[in-house]
Amino acid sequence: MSNNIRIEEDLLGTREVPADAYYGVHTLRAIENFYISNNKISDIPEFVRGMVMVKKAAAMANKELQTIPKSVANAIIAACDEVLNNGKCMDQFPVDVYQGGAGTSVNMNTNEVLANIGLELMGHQKGEYQYLNPNDHVNKCQSTNDAYPTGFRIAVYSSLIKLVDAINQLREGFERKAVEFQDILKMGRTQLQDAVPMTLGQEFRAFSILLKEEVKNIQRTAELLLEVNLGATAIGTGLNTPKEYSPLAVKKLAEVTGFPCVPAEDLIEATSDCGAYVMVHGALKRLAVKMSKICNDLRLLSSGPRAGLNEINLPELQAGSSIMPAKVNPVVPEVVNQVCFKVIGNDTTVTMAAEAGQLQLNVMEPVIGQAMFESVHILTNACYNLLEKCINGITANKEVCEGYVYNSIGIVYLPEPVHRSPQR
């Protein structure tokens, strides 16, 4: 063995692994087998943390049940803390997000990284698995089929907390504008035709309430993710685990994550079914539909400035044309529209992948994970982008808004105190 490599062995034979790598032969083969995108598991830190939390909970349960030596369990727990608390080895998860094997590559990547961190903490060299083994110790009482989906669920749930915070901040931005515009009279429209008067503040408050409803929906569906199948092992029967392991491991997972995790009612059902992902991503799709509608309205209300509605002004961020001088486009609502289209497309991916499960396992969970993490990530960024680059800077064209009211037949619906001609 040279200074630059170490030799590791698996079922298929021996391979040279970079000496400084914390991953091992299983991860190396996955790198070679899956080169679909430039997106790696390391690019999704929430997922890495979710998997490591599962391994920590498992080690804590195994320590208590004495299924692995105490010193080994302590090393695994300490290795997990190195990742969770110090960010150690977050770059050591190089497997493509698109992969076959129902997530085995992610699970083994996690096992190998934690084993090698643990070995160093014990005073050994990377790859000296006779002291701390990725399979026999880190993966003790687990299978990819329960460790991977549990880590995935924890990661998505954690990401949704950040999304909800972003939505709430966007909602508050609309609420501030609702107060600012509360006395500006404007024309309401149905089917793009003049309807009855309202205030611009009422219009913006409706945007705020719309987002408030989406927060409730996401929080309600997210709870489904906390029903986990940890302890199910391969197909849900708990093969090769003590009967006390599953409830204990889930209890430890709740302690590690701070989330109210509970064991699934039926581990066989939970191992094969992906219905929770369909429900959760359905909530993301609904949010995308609503956000896109809001952006459509913002673009329409700001159209003009001379030949459109011109009721509001969006912040001028960049030149809008290489041929038409002084043209400024609603670029932020446009990009949020496109984010929403992508999320709606991802929902079809999640739906089809969930449907593709066969018998006791759904091997398509990796693409479900890719779609869900992407949707949560881009929706979170879209909320902040829309708030900071658009909503906060919106101004109203009061005279234009009121002019439409007083030039419309809708004026007959105004209450007497405000039935007047605008001051000139």
pLDDT digit string (tens) for 14-36? 999 999 999 999 999 999 999 99
Q: Answer yes or no: is 98 within a domain.
A: yes
Is the pLDDT assigned to residue 172 strictly greater than 70? Answer: yes
Which pLDDT belongs to residue 320? 60
Q: Answer yes or no: is 106 within a domain.
A: yes
Distance CA 104, CA 124 (A): 26
* Beta strands 227-228 and 262-263, pairing class: parallel
Phi, psi of 15 (to 5 degrees): -145, 155
Q: Please indicate, yes or no, whether residues 50 and 71 belong to a single structural domain of this protein.
A: yes
Place of tokens 């909530």: 283
Which regions of 232-296 does DSSP assign to beta strands (E)? 262-263
Is the pLDDT assigned to residue 272 strictly greater than 50? Answer: yes
Phi, psi of 185 (to 5 degrees): -80, 140
Distance CA 325, CA 328 (A): 9
Comparing 227 with 361, the larger pLDDT belongs to 227
Distance CA 84, CA 144 (A): 21
Is the pLDDT assigned to residue 60 strictly greater than 70? Answer: yes
Last residue of a domain, one of 112, 140, 168: 140
Token pair listed for 262 = 């509970």
Residues involved in catalysis:
321
Place of tokens 């003009």: 304
Instruction: Check the CA dihedral 179-183-185-188 and report its sign.
Output: positive
Which pLDDT belongs to residue 13? 93
Last residue of a domain, one of 77, 111, 140: 140
User: What band does 322 get if pLDDT is binned at 50, 70 and 90?
Assistant: low
Is the pLDDT assigned to residue 420 strictly greater than 50? Answer: no
Average pLDDT, the chain: 94
Which pLDDT belongs to residue 328? 78
Distance CA 247, CA 47 (A): 23
* Contact present, 166 and 383 (Cβ < 8 Å): yes
What is the share, in percent, of the chain residues with pLDDT greater than 90? 87
Which pLDDT belongs to residue 361? 87
Q: What is the pLDDT of residues 83-142, one digit of tens each?
A: 999 999 999 999 999 999 999 999 999 999 999 999 999 999 999 999 999 999 999 999
Which pLDDT belongs to residue 417? 53
Place of tokens 């990796």: 366
User: What band does 330 get if pLDDT is binned at 50, 70 and 90?
Assistant: confident
Is the pLDDT assigned to residue 419 strictly greater than 90? Answer: no
Burial 114-135 (b: 16+ CB within 10 A, else e): bbbbbbbbbebebbbbebbbbe
Q: Please indicate, yes or no, whether residues 185 and 106 belong to a single structural domain of this protein.
A: no
Distance CA 55, CA 253 (A): 9
Which pLDDT belongs to residue 200? 98
Task: Report the number of distinct structural domains present in the chain.
Answer: 2
Q: Please indicate, yes or no, whether residues 136 and 180 belong to a single structural domain of this protein.
A: no
User: What band does 321 get if pLDDT is binned at 50, 70 and 90?
Assistant: low
* Contact present, 386 and 332 (Cβ < 8 Å): yes
Is the pLDDT assigned to residue 339 strictly greater than 80? Answer: yes
Is the pLDDT assigned to residue 342 strictly greater than 50? Answer: yes
Average pLDDT over residues 356-373: 94
Question: Which ranges constitute the DSSP H helices of 181-199?
Answer: none
Is the pLDDT assigned to residue 424 strictly greater than 60? Answer: no
Average pLDDT over residues 6-17: 93
Q: Please indicate, yes or no, whether residues 125 and 160 belong to a single structural domain of this protein.
A: no
Last residue of a domain, one of 124, 140, 156: 140
Q: Please indicate, yes or no, whether residues 119 and 37 belong to a single structural domain of this protein.
A: yes
Q: Please indicate, yes or no, whether residues 46 and 163 belong to a single structural domain of this protein.
A: no
Q: Please indicate, yes or no, whether residues 46 and 133 belong to a single structural domain of this protein.
A: yes
Question: Whole-prediction pTM value?
Answer: 0.92
CATH code of 291's domain: 1.20.200.10
Q: What is the pLDDT of residues 174-204, one digit of tens each?
A: 999 999 999 999 999 999 998 999 999 999 9
User: What band does 327 get if pLDDT is binned at 50, 70 and 90?
Assistant: confident
Q: Answer yes or no: is 367 within a domain.
A: yes
Q: Please indicate, yes or no, whether residues 117 and 178 belong to a single structural domain of this protein.
A: no
Q: Answer yes or no: is 261 within a domain.
A: no
Which pLDDT belongs to residue 329? 83
* Domain containing residue 28: 23-140
Distance CA 65, CA 169 (A): 45
Task: Check residue 201 and report its DSSP letter.
Answer: H
What is the identity of the amino acid at 390? C
User: What band does 318 get if pLDDT is binned at 50, 70 and 90?
Assistant: low
Q: Please indicate, yes or no, whether residues 399 and 306 belong to a single structural domain of this protein.
A: yes
Place of tokens 């549990």: 150
Q: Answer yes or no: is 245 within a domain.
A: no
Q: What is the pLDDT of residues 242-257, one digit of tens each?
A: 999 999 999 999 999 9
* Contact present, 387 and 208 (Cβ < 8 Å): no
Contacts of 261 (CB under 8 A, 6+ apart): 154, 226, 227, 228, 250, 253, 254
* Contact present, 58 and 137 (Cβ < 8 Å): no
Which pLDDT belongs to residue 418? 47
Distance of CA 147 to the CA centre of its chain: 19
Which pLDDT belongs to residue 2? 64
Distance CA 330, CA 268 (A): 50
Q: Please indicate, yes or no, whether residues 113 and 157 belong to a single structural domain of this protein.
A: no
Q: Please indicate, yes or no, whether residues 211 and 359 belong to a single structural domain of this protein.
A: yes
Distance CA 47, CA 35 (A): 19
Q: Answer yes or no: is 421 within a domain.
A: no
User: What band does 408 get if pLDDT is binned at 50, 70 and 90?
Assistant: confident
Taking residue 227's Cβ as centre, other Cβ atoms within 10 Å add up to 15
Q: What is the pLDDT of residues 153-166, one digit of tens each?
A: 999 999 999 999 99
Average pLDDT over residues 401-405: 95
Comparing 280 with 238, the larger pLDDT belongs to 280
